[in-house]
Amino acid sequence: MMKKEIAIPKGVDVAIHGMELRIKGPKGELSKNFENPMFNSMVKMEKNGNLVVSSESERRQIKAMVGAIAAHAKNMMTGVTKGYEYTMKIHYSHFPINVEVKDKDVLVKNFLGEKAPRTTKIKGKAEVKATKDVVVVKGTDIEDVGQTCRNIEEVCKIVERDGRVFNDGIYVVEKKLQTGEKI
């Protein structure tokens, strides 16, 4: 039998509807659906002061699913109480890179001297703020914050050039909670 218990912090409401988990806290609300036909009948989520994710099965895949659901729930609780903040550094050798945020798009201008800006999307409810040499991505969902950072890194990918010479780009340099704690 596999069983994981996650303590529910003060000020956080947890609601379970089948395999859907809804977590509400001071910074917002997150929900995630863990439905999977292979696991639905074998994995149970309960709330009894703590969030309990358990399974009677001894199969390796089922145990992995229990651990994954518990980790997602813990990240969601941290997100709605403290929030996530990733700091990215703009690095260039010759052509100064400019970053602008418009609605749900991030525009990277003058990358390697290109005339047309490179664009990418902001995922979910993540917020992006750009200054001269730093881009800060904040949000309650660690997946949205991480994917937005990855999208920004990916749009600055250099192909068909020597990476030892052309190392311009925007890179994640720090991952922390909005309270200042390191992740």
pLDDT digit string, tens, across residues 124-133: 999 999 999 9
pLDDT digit string, tens, across residues 20-46: 999 999 999 999 999 988 777 788 888
Which of 41, 64, 81 is a domain's end point? 81
- The structure tokens listed for 17 are 């509807």
At 72, which CATH number? 3.90.930.12
Residue-level pLDDT at 67:
94
Residue with tokens 């600055």: 156
User: Average per-residue pLDDT in the chain?
Assistant: 94
pLDDT digit string, tens, across residues 68-83: 999 999 999 999 999 9
Which of 81, 97, 120 is a domain's end point? 81
Check whether residue 68 and residue 152 sit in a common domain: no
Strands (E), the chain: 2-7, 13-17, 20-25, 28-33, 43-47, 50-55, 84-91, 98-102, 105-109, 118-121, 127-130, 134-139, 169-177
% of the chain exceeding 70 in pLDDT: 100
Check whether residue 60 and residue 109 sit in a common domain: no
Q: Is residue 183 part of a domain?
A: no
Number of compact structural domains in the chain: 2
CA distances from 46 to 10, 20, 49, 140 (A): 18, 11, 9, 23
- Per the DSSP assignment, residues forming a β-bridge with 16 are 21
Check whether residue 71 and residue 108 sit in a common domain: no
pLDDT digit string, tens, across residues 168-177: 999 999 999 9
Q: Please name the amino acid found at residue 128.
A: V
Separation of alpha carbons 12 and 165, rounded Å: 49
Residue-level pLDDT at 163:
84
Residue-level pLDDT at 117:
97
Residue 1's pLDDT band (cuts 50, 70, 90): confident
pTM tops 0.75, yes or no: yes
Check whether residue 21 and residue 103 sit in a common domain: no
pLDDT digit string, tens, across residues 83-112: 999 999 999 998 999 999 999 999 999 999
- The structure tokens listed for 71 are 């980790």
Strand (E) or helix (H) holding 63 = helix 60-81
pLDDT exceeds 80 at position 160? yes
Which of 29, 58, 81 is a domain's end point? 81
Check whether residue 73 and residue 94 sit in a common domain: no
Domain containing 9 equals 2-81
CA 129 to chain centre: 16
